[in-house]
Amino acid sequence: MVLQNWINGQFVEAHGSGRLEVISPVTEAVVAVSPISDSHDVDAAYAAAEAARLAWRRTTPGQRQQMLLAWADAIEGAADELVEAQYRNTGQPRDAIRAEEVMTGADHVRFFAGAARTLGGVASGEYMEGHTSQVRREPIGVVGQVTPWNYPIMMAIWKLAPALAAGNTVVIKPSDTTPESTLVLVRLTKGILPDGVVNLVLGDASTGALLTSHRTPGLVAITGSVRAGLAVAEAAAGNLARAHLELGGKAPAVVFSGVDVEATAEGIVGAAFFNAGQDCTAVTRVLVAREIHDDVVAALVAAAQALVVGNVEDAYYGPMNNRVHFTKVMEILAALPEHAVVATGGNRIGEQGFYIEPTIVTGVKQDDSIVQTETFGPVITVQAFDSEAEAVTLANGVDYALAASVWTRDVAQAARLAADIDAGCVWINTHIPLVAEMPHGGFKHSGYGKDLSVYGLEDYTRIKHVMTATEAS
């Protein structure tokens, strides 16, 4: 059976005649067939969103809060269905999907449900004699969104929840390799949100291009690669629409002398290989003080080799999401420079499924492609530094600026590094935890705009100045 779009509160057969096979990265078998939506489908989705826009924006924040809270309850109630739908497309450990995406995702919806009631403009004041000014914070209107395959449920919620809480209607397109769990998410809005407030179109990059270049949305948002983000920014610019871009990362973990080497290594390995490294904030580069370099490498190798990987109940991570990406990561490893040393890993696991061993590469140089380019897989590099200043230079010496961590017992040093490292988030003696109350987003080629927090909510609003004459004319 071919999957269907969700438009105006119901499943609708796509007009586009193209088809995509959705492949399990565990078994490499076809688990679903998705349509490639065309311009007729995208037009229909945006027409539904536009038709629902005025009524939805006129709901009060309290009304939107109650509906979003009901949606969060529905998400939790459908946890088993969501887990299985996502597992079919991603092969991620089921426990991780349940805990890190379904339950955490429902919590994030509840955060934005409450945050909707906190938005307001600047208090009114008199800045010209006989006139009172105030600032209104309003929804943008209709929003177009494109989500990735690495965390399908979570990324859809990060996009949908703030947009809806702010009073916008939405057309969203999930990744062509992981559509099923997002379809469940939007179906769960039936009977909770008015028809047309959330719409979903399925398809490939051509569908995404139609969605982001359409004249209807006032903002287009994407979580994805730098290449995809640049395409979205260009498409949005053609209509003078705003763009919200959460793109790639190449996060460093900077390790200084004096730390507990084994505990630090375990923390870094956990953050590097979670979700098979398919996380834009994952540790990818370990920068370590030269005097403890060898000890840290040994501890990293031991921690990596202790991880359980594969299609087993207690696996720490699952497969690469799709064959194209699996091939890309394996090609990156095959093309390592001669001076690079694979301390552990580097190989495919088994003959079925897109599994790769946790891999640690040492001996690399700052200008090596493995250091400069996002791998998005279970691979980390290790470099030594001789001073705090050199550590900062190495940390900042890539095009990305999404996340970083500093591992030290020196509080003042941690404060200096947190200020000097160019990243949207800097963790101290930990790496990768996220909370709904704090913003997520980067600088440079990691994009602009924030997910999560009230800052993420504000990104889906616009501000308007209203001036009223207070003296009779």
The Cα–Cα gap between 149 and 204 comes to 12
Q: How many CA atoms lie within 13 A of 430 on its CB side?
A: 4
The answer to whether the CB of 382 falls within 8 A of the CB of 361 is yes
Q: Is the dihedral of CA 425, 428, 432, 433 positive or negative?
A: negative
Q: Distance between alpha carbon 5 and the CA centroid of its chain, in Å?
A: 22
Q: Kindly state the tokens that stand for 68.
A: 């979003």
Query: Contact at 8 Å (CB) between 453 and 114?
Result: no
- Whether residue 25 contacts residue 319, with contact meaning beta carbons closer than 8 Å, is answered with yes
CA 30 and chain centroid, separation = 26
Sorted by sequence, the CB contacts under 8 Å of residue 336 that are 6+ apart come out as 342, 361, 370
The region that residue 399 occupies, defined by phi over 0 for left and psi between -120 and 50 for alpha, beta otherwise, is: alpha
Say how many Å lie between the first and final Cα of the chain, rounded: 68
**Structural tokens at position 239:** 């209509």
d(CA 348, CA 334): 12
Q: What single DSSP character describes residue 132? A: E
* 246 in active site: yes
Sign of the C-alpha dihedral, residues 287, 288, 293, 296?
A: negative
Neighbours of 126 (CB within 10 A): 10
Does the annotation mark 425 as catalytic? no
From the list 101, 246, 357, 374, the catalytic residue is: 246
Cβ 107 vs Cβ 159: under 8 Å: no
Query: Quick one: angle between helices 79-90 and 180-187, nearest 10?
Result: 160
The residue annotated as part of the active site, out of 180, 280, 374, 425, is 280
Rg, C-alpha atoms of the chain: 23
Residues 6+ apart with CB under 8 A from 314: 308
3-state secondary structure 364-418: CCCCCHHHHCCCCCCEEEEEEECCHHHHHHHHHCCCEECEEEEECCCHHHHHHHH
- Element (DSSP H or E) covering residue 5: strand 5-7
Pairing of strands 359-362, 341-344: antiparallel
Tell me the catalytic residues. Answer: 246, 280
